[in-house]
C-alpha cells in the first residue's frame, strides 16, 4: 500500500482509496478530485499498486484501507472515475442530508440495487448519460456498485477475510453493514465512470461462492446459552415454534432436520 499524499497535521475528512493498475487513469482520477476541492488540507489519497500484477485483490486491499485510513469518511473508488460538476461541497451536503434522514447510515454510493427489479442510479458511464433512475435520492438499497462507495470510518466496517477476488465486495460490504446495524443508500453524487464491467466466468464463479457462503453463515441453527436455548432461522414459523417452551422438543427436531438440509 502506498500513500500518494497525506496531510501532516490536522484531522482528515476524506480518505480517497483505490487499486491502481493503470497509472494514467489514476492520475486523471486524482486530478479530478483535487480540481473539485478535495485538497490536501484535510484529504488523503491512498492506493494499492497492482501495476505489476494483483499483489492484493479487492477484499484484501479494502480491508487494508479500513485499517490504515485516517479519514472520517473512506471513499473506495475505481481508478477510472472522473468527477464532473459535483464537488467537495456537494459531497459535504450529501453527508449532511444523510445525517438528517438516517443517523445510522453507514455506506452510500452512486448506484445500487433497491430490490428485485429496481435499481437506483446516478452515474454517467458507457451505457448511461447523466442517468437518474428511480429517485428521489437518497434511497435505501441492498447493494452498492463498486465504482464509488463511501463508508463512515466510525461504522467499523470490513469485508470477510475468507473471500477474495474483484466481484461482489460492494454487495458483501452492505450485508456486513446491515448485520452491524448500519444502512446503505444511493445518493445524488454524479460522476463519470469510464470503465466497463465484465460478467464472464469469474463473475459467475464469485456469485456462486457468495451464495454458498451465506447459506452457511445464515443457516437455521440452535444456539445454546448459559441461560436458555434459542432457534434462529429465516422462517418466522420455525422461529415461533422454536421459541415456545411447550413446543420446544418438536421444534428442536424440525430445526435439526432443516439445519442438516441446509448444510448438504
Domains contained in the chain, number: 2
Q: Which of 198, 213, 228 is the last residue of a domain?
A: 213
Q: What is the pLDDT of residue 41?
A: 92
Task: Give CA–CA dist 249/36, Å, rounded.
Answer: 63
Q: CA neighbours within 13 Å on the CB side: how many for 237?
A: 3
Q: What is the mean pLDDT of each run of 10 residues along the chain (264 residues)?
A: 52 96 96 96 96 89 95 96 96 98 97 87 74 76 93 92 74 89 95 75 68 67 66 70 56 66 62
Residues 6+ apart with CB under 8 A from 249: none
Residues 6+ apart with CB under 8 A from 95: 73
Q: Which of 172, 196, 213 is the last residue of a domain?
A: 213
Quick one: 80 and 187 in the same domain?
yes
Quick one: 46 and 162 in the same domain?
yes
Q: What's the CATH code of the domain at 166?
A: 3.90.550.10
Quick one: 238 and 167 in the same domain?
no
Quick one: 149 and 255 in the same domain?
no
Quick one: 229 and 246 in the same domain?
yes
3-state secondary structure the chain: CEEEECCCCCCCCEEEEEEECCHHHHHHHHHHHHHCCCCCCCEEEEEEECCCCCCCCHHHHHHHHHHHCCCCEEEEECCCEEECCCCHHHHHHHHHHHHHHCCCEEEEECEEEEECCEEEECCECCCCCCCCECCCCCEEECEECCCEEEEEHHHCCCCCCCCCCCCCHHHHHHHHHHHCCCEEEECCCCEEECCCCCCCHHHHHHHHHHHHHHHHHCCCEEEECCCCEEEECCCHHHHHHHCCHHHHHHHHHHHHHHHHHHCC
Quick one: 14 and 132 in the same domain?
yes
Domain assignment of residue 232, given as a range: 219-262
Q: Which of 213, 232, 247 is the last residue of a domain?
A: 213
Quick one: 67 and 183 in the same domain?
yes
Quick one: 96 and 208 in the same domain?
yes
Quick one: 133 and 256 in the same domain?
no
Q: What is the pLDDT of residue 100?
A: 97
Amino acid at each position: 500500500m502506498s500513500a500518494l499524499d497525506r496531510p501532516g497535521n490536522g484531522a482528515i475528512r476524506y480518505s480517497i482509496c483505490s487499486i491502481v493498475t493503470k497509472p494514467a487513469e489514476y492520475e486523471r482520477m486524482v486530478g479530478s478530485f483535487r480540481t473539485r476541492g478535495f485538497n490536501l488540507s484535510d484529504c488523503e489519497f491512498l492506493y494499492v499498486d497492482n501495476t505489476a500484477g494483483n499483489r492484493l485483490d479487492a477484499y484484501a486491499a479494502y480491508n487494508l484501507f479500513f485499517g490504515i485510513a485516517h479519514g472520517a469518511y473512506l471513499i473506495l473508488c475505481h481508478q477510472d472515475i472522473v468527477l464532473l460538476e459535483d464537488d467537495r461541497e456537494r459531497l459535504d451536503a450529501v453527508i449532511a442530508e444523510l445525517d438528517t434522514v438516517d443517523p445510522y447510515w453507514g455506506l452510500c454510493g452512486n448506484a445500487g440495487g433497491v430490490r428485485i427489479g429496481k435499481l437506483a442510479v446516478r452515474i454517467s458511464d458507457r451505457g448511461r448519460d447523466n442517468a437518474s433512475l428511480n429517485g428521489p435520492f437518497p434511497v435505501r438499497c441492498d447493494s452498492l456498485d463498486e465504482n464509488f462507495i463511501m463508508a463512515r470510518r466510525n461504522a467499523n466496517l470490513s469485508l470477510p477475510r475468507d473471500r477474495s477476488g474483484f466481484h461482489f465486495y460492494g454487495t458483501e460490504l452492505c450485508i456486513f453493514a446491515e448485520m452491524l446495524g448500519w444502512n446503505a443508500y444511493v445518493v445524488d453524487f454524479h460522476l463519470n465512470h469510464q470503465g466497463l464491467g465484465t460478467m464472464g466466468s469469474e463473475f459467475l464463479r464469485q456469485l456462486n461462492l457468495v451464495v454458498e457462503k451465506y447459506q452457511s453463515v445464515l443457516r437455521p441453527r440452535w444456539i445454546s446459552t448459559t441461560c436458555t436455548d434459542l432457534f434462529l432461522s429465516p422462517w418466522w414459523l420455525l422461529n415461533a415454534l422454536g421459541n415456545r417452551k411447550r413446543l420446544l422438543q418438536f421444534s428442536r427436531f424440525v430445526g435439526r432436520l432443516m439445519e442438516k438440509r441446509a448444510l448438504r
